[in-house]
Amino acid sequence: MQNTAQRDIIEKIVNAESDGSKFGLGRTRALLEAFGFPEKKLSVVHIAGSNGKGSIAEYVTDILLEEGKTVGTFTSPAVFDYAEKFRINGEFHDEDKLRYHLSRVYERACGMADKPSSFEIEVVAALNLFVDCGAEYAVLECGLGGLEDATNAISCKKMAIISSVSLEHTAVLGNTVTQICRHKAGIIKDCPAVVNSLQCEEARGYFTSLGATFADGVTDITPAEDGQYFTFRGERYFIRMAGSAQCHNAATAALACSMLGAGKGAIVRGLKRARLEGRVQTVVRGDRTYVLDGSHNPASFVPLTEKLASIGGEKTLVFSCLSDKDVQAAADILSPYFHRVIVVPAPSYRRMQTEKIAAAFRDKGPEVCVAESVSCALSLSKDKVTVLCGSFTVLKEGRQWTEKGQ
């Protein structure tokens, strides 16, 4: 039976997120050492990048599962449920066991002079959970950057994967692509590295200088009713995720897993089975269509705009974002597709002020208003198509609202 501390641990960790992020590896390394370096008992696949990390993590996980491996997957942020950050074989695991490991790490962290952040605690708890559940592989998604991200405190890894890189978090990572690449490439430590082919020239040059292998060779992208086909290095694959960028993400995962020893059949089946909610996710309710998408920077809007270009008629955008995002770029890219924009506050201490967001969109022409919540905004929309995007933090309320059949 759980004690009170274990029952309350998730609430404590979530509440402590407002204390902010901490960078540097010392605190996480101290926690890993305290728990006997659990990562040494796992084959770690480490993923960094600006866009596509979560998708690549999903593809890698499913390919390894088709190969017969037991896989623990740690991703962030949570979209619909806290426990989804910590998955065993693609599923949200026993929450009691998760709380147990979070409690152990949290208790140890509270005794440290330099107290670890919530994310640092979660990383170590995830690795302990994966070992406890008998996982062979751990697929870890970086939180921010790579070089000084808590996930990079691990002492060993089998593979490093870099998704597409663009300007992001410039106050922390630097204001040039090269500076940002330096942070992302920080995860390449005594292991092979596979890099997504969707890179600008500057990023490609940087990763080439490190001897990374690029997942080049994606051709013949063909949309299908329930997904899309593409050819990669002579093989034809099918994926269910939307947007041409997903074909490049899938190819990156396929190449990395092939280098890890996965067979062709496992790769074909794994790519086909992979699904990820909150990425251009379509929900139909009667004569209304809702698109839920966690895209939050210029490059990540591409799959969404590809979808919007195929949909006729007037559309409403419900939008929110965090304070470190380029809202002007978002308005530039998204405004042409919508006649009305409803701005809502993100449920995060990092949220951008709604008036700042509204001002960016007003300059671009759509009718703009502000609503107090996602539910209110979706209720206000009268168009046949409504899109909710800008931050993963707003998708949970959006899904709950659409599931009620409003």
In the chain, CATH 3.90.190.20 sits at: 281-403
The pLDDT, as a whole number, for residue 406 is 53
- Class for the domain spanning 4-273: alpha beta
- Are the CB atoms for 168 and 180 separated by under 8 Å? yes
Strand-pair partners of 193: 160
- CATH node for 281-403: 3.90.190.20
Q: What is the distance between the alpha carbons of residues 199 and 216, in angstroms, rounded to a whole number?
A: 11
Q: Using a cut of 0.75, tell me whether the model's pTM lies above it.
A: yes
Opening angle at CA 72, ends 114 and 182, nearest 5: 55
Residue pair 321/296 in contact by the 8 Å Cβ criterion = yes
Tokens encoding 67: 């190969």
Per-residue pLDDT of the chain (406 residues; tens, 9 = 90+): 455 556 689 999 988 887 777 889 999 999 999 999 999 999 999 999 998 999 999 999 999 999 999 999 999 988 888 999 999 999 987 889 999 999 999 999 999 999 999 999 999 999 999 999 999 999 999 998 899 999 999 999 999 999 999 877 666 677 899 999 999 999 999 999 999 999 999 999 999 999 999 999 999 999 998 899 999 999 999 999 988 999 999 999 999 999 999 999 999 999 999 998 888 888 888 889 999 998 888 878 988 998 899 888 999 999 999 988 889 999 999 999 999 999 999 988 889 999 999 999 998 989 999 999 999 999 999 999 999 999 988 999 999 999 886 5
Distance, in Å, from the CA atom of 38 to the CA atom of 32, rounded to the nearest integer, reads 7
| Residue 231 backbone dihedrals phi, psi, to 5 degrees | -110, 135
CA angle 10-155-99, nearest 5°? Answer: 15
CA distance 80 to 169: 24
E strands within 170-307?
A: 193-195, 213-214, 218-224, 227-232, 235-239, 281-285, 288-292
Choose among 169, 135, 146, 167: nearest CA to 323. Answer: 169
Q: How far apart are CA 294 and CA 296, in angstroms?
A: 6
